[in-house]
Amino acid sequence: MGSQGQKGRVRSWTFGCALGLAAMGLAACGSGSSSPTSTVRSTPTTSPAGPTTTTTGGSTSGNQAAVLNAWQSAQQTLYGYLQAPWQQDRANLVAGQTAATLWLNLANYFVDPALKSEQTFLVGVKMGQLNGPTSFDLGTPKVVALTPTTATVAGCIYDSGTTTASGQPGPSNLDGGGAGGYKGTWNLVLVSGSWKIASFKTSSVSKC
């Protein structure tokens, strides 16, 4: 598990963009470019679910269900933000709004370092003028480790349909790193009764 919560297939370009934002201002990063070297995860067609992951005890199966619910809600929330039009989000970022306030609900499902990683990821996508994937499949995640305060989920997610600002297919390393999907593990921690993703690591696969 990477200590910074970064997906092995996607995130490196967003940190370069973030450095560019600090050095040159938001408008300069990704300006005029429709094909950054990033990877985007897919987006749901429904509104992000509210926090429903509270658990303070109970059976092992009940705790596993709560962990899986938290994981699924986290992915749906992230993809909901990815699906939102990049134009308004980019304008808000250029105007000085922060990732923490622009994508407020991420904090319901993520904690650092994963939270910071996903916020940086979204900044890169929006400043890179990318339309989020049109379809996704969260697959069949499983809880592979569970203690009273920590859990690990293993899963494989398939997504597709990311496009550039001009409507052309996104860069080849988008949508599962060009392979169609990505699998990995996500580490969750119990924070004030709610399970949240703290770190994760994934890699590209041709098929889930």
Tell me the per-residue pLDDT of 141-200, one tens digit each, with 9 for 90 and over: 999 999 999 999 999 998 888 888 988 887 655 555 555 688 999 999 999 999 999 999
- The top-scoring range by mean pLDDT among 36-45, 71-80, 162-171 is 71-80
Is a pLDDT exceeding 60 seen at residue 132?
A: yes
Threshold 0.95, pTM exceeds: no
Residue spans per domain, the chain: 12-29+37-48+58-205
- pLDDT grade for 108, boundaries at 50, 70 and 90: very high
Q: Which of 52, 112, 36, 109 is nearest to 78 (CA)?
A: 109
Give 1-35 pLDDT, tens digit per residue: 433 454 433 433 333 333 333 332 332 233 233 23
DSSP secondary structure letter of residue 6: -
Taking a C-beta distance cutoff of 8 angstroms, is the pair 64, 72 a contact? no
Mean pLDDT score, 91-96: 98
Mean pLDDT score, 69-96: 96
64-96 as b/e: b if 16+ CB within 10 A: bebbbbbbbbbbbbbbbbbbbebeebbebbbee
What architecture (CATH level 2) is domain 12-29+37-48+58-205? Answer: Roll (3.10)
54-63, 72-81, 139-148: least confident range: 54-63
Mean pLDDT score, 80-87: 94
159 CB-contact burial (10 Å; exposed 0-12 / middle 13-18 / buried 19+): buried
